Amino acid sequence: MVNKKDTTAEQKILTAAKKVFTMNGMAGARMQDIADEAGINKAMLHYYFKDKDKLFEVIFMAEAAKFFPKVNIIFESDMPLFEKINRFVNEYIDEIAENPYLPWFILNELNRDADQFMSKVWNMAHRPKPEKFLAQIEKEVKKGTIKRISPLHLLINLLSMTIFPFIARPMLMRTMQMDELQFREMIEQRRKEIPKFIIDSIKK
């Protein structure tokens, strides 16, 4: 039987860790910072989570379990293709804006052991199911409502255009001399720019 006090303490740690990771990034976050934010000592933090990698993994899996079903609802819905593209971009931006260091964590884990990581994610969360979305693109091509385009490449374009600014955030902010507010404003602009760019490129 799970002790209610243990569950409350663990949730308090996860909430604190998410805040610290968001503020300082994966590399900049320290276990002491997380303990301070949670209002506990470091020994108690290590009792629940041995290191920050394990802590971040728990946070990521929880987010994946919430996020992937939302994506599948979009993929498998009967909404028109252009509306689906808009919804897809907005869901991804919402998720990464709330958890900006998830892309870095995913890249690190994929480089470390892609098979183990993907197996763990799919066991704990719903696997994305883009099959209906890809078939819908092909159907629209055959109907002549959009230009000939590979469904796979359209999906990759959606993903890469949405995720890249978050991965390249330090470089973009320094190169373009952006502060935090300006970066967030740019991301908000991309909610409209990405779907518009893609839709304009494929519609007849």
- Tell me the percentage of the chain whose pLDDT exceeds 90: 55
pTM of the model: 0.78
The Cα 154–Cα 148 span in angstroms is 11
Residue 1 pLDDT level (bands cut at 50, 70, 90): very low
pLDDT of 39 strictly over 70: yes
Q: What is the per-residue pLDDT for 136?
A: 97
Look up the CATH number of domain 59-202. Answer: 1.10.357.10
Q: Is the dihedral of CA 87, 89, 93, 95 positive or negative?
A: positive
Look up the CATH number of domain 1-50. Answer: 1.10.10.60
Residue 107 pLDDT level (bands cut at 50, 70, 90): confident
pLDDT of 183 strictly over 70: yes
Q: Where are the domains of the chain?
A: 1-50, 59-202
pLDDT of 144 strictly over 70: yes
Residue 3, token pair as written in the block = 């002790």
Is the Cβ–Cβ distance between 53 and 27 less than 8 Å? no
Averaged pLDDT for residues 85-98: 92
